Copies of this chain bind each other. A is one copy, B any other.
Amino acid sequence: MSSEFDLIRRHFSRAVRHTDLGVGDDAALLRTRPGMQLVVSTDMLVSGTHFLPDAEAQALGWKTAAVNISDMAAMAAEPRWITLALSLPSANDKWVEDFADGFAACCMCFGVDWIGGDTTRGPLNLCATVFGEVPQGHAVLRSGAKAGDDIWISGAPGLAALGLQHLLGEIVVDEAWREACLLALHRPQPRVALGLALRGVATAMLDVSDGLLGDLGHILEQSNCGALIEDALLPLAPVLVASGDGALARQALLNGGDDYELLFCAASAQRDALRDLSEQLQLPLTRIGAITEQSNVIFLLAQDGTTEAVRPQGYDHFRGGL
């Protein structure tokens, strides 16, 4: 069994590119660029709550970095630095190496320096804290949505939820789509380029981690407004093909989390610009509805013209299971 200090030295000391002092002292040292605000977020992942106990180490490393970096994308910030604290039941060298490789790979992909952390013994728990930069006053918050704004979602949300249900044996995803669903679940892609491009365009934004409707509720609450979502606009095609079941697909799309797509609002004058951006980034951007005046309520407009009011409810780690 390796010692804690050996583990850190061997796997956690990676080269840094824009950091004054990385792993090895009581703290790391870094400098933000002039005119920039520092953007800080922390996310903790727990076995059985955020991932299955038998999750593959490298994928878990990727995901731990990705869900944190996604919070930078959601603020229209450039991710720059990250720390990782983890508690492990035992010091399994191979597991730690794989996990560290996955974590470092995701950091590399998004230009993030891994600057420090902490390792200790205990039930498996992964806690990263990520730091980004945004020109002062240019972060996109949850609180800026206005009645009349369009509501947009990136990518093909719902695939990760189908992947999880497949792993849990609740459904069987067709082989042709299985890989895509498992990739969405295990290797989520933080939408950093999209987040940066939405500075000055999006009026409110967040990343969907707990379900599209629930997370939309956070925007409505903080912007003090409501939303009308049109069934006919929803990007149902990918989840429908993957699941082969309309009700299931709709459920995965509206309530599944874990895809880490960006949900954002923008004035309707931005529609053309957003279609261009979608092409440029090769990433679907779908307008799914509009912001309304009435506070804290989401109306779902069905294709037959009827509406249903939904109370926004985010995924609650003290209520839901995985």
Contact = CB atoms under 8 A, between A and B. Distances in A.
Contacts of A44: 85-87, 118, 120, 125, 127
A299 B21 CA distance: 30
A235 to B, nearest CB: 22
Interface stretch (A23-31, A170-178, A288-296): A23-31
Nearest to A121: B317
A81 interface: yes
Given A120-B49, A316-B3, A317-B121, A141 B25 contact: yes
A260 to B, nearest CB: 11
A83 B40 contact: yes
A277 interface: no
B28 A120 contact: no
A27 B71 contact: yes
A56 interface: no
Interface size class, chain A: 35 or more
Given A4-B317, A4-B318, A206 B26 contact: yes
A123 B122 contact: yes
Contacts of A26: 41, 71, 74-75, 142, 205-207
Contacts of A31: 32, 37-38, 136
A139 interface: yes
Contacts of A20: 37
B90 A318 contact: yes
A118 B27 contact: no
A91 interface: yes
B42 A83 contact: yes
A95 to B, nearest CB: 13
Interface in A135-150: 136, 139, 141-143
A282 interface: no
Interface of A: 1-5, 7, 20-21, 24-32, 37-50, 71-72, 74-75, 77, 81, 83-87, 90-91, 115-123, 125, 127, 129, 131-132, 134, 136, 139, 141-143, 205-207, 222, 314, 316-319
13 contacts: A25-B142, A25-B206, A26-B206, A27-B75, A29-B75, A40-B129, A42-B83, A50-B120, A90-B318, A118-B127, A120-B317, A122-B123, A123-B125
Given A4-B318, A25-B75, A28-B40, 8 more contacts: A1-B318, A25-B206, A27-B40, A31-B32, A40-B81, A44-B86, A46-B123, A122-B123
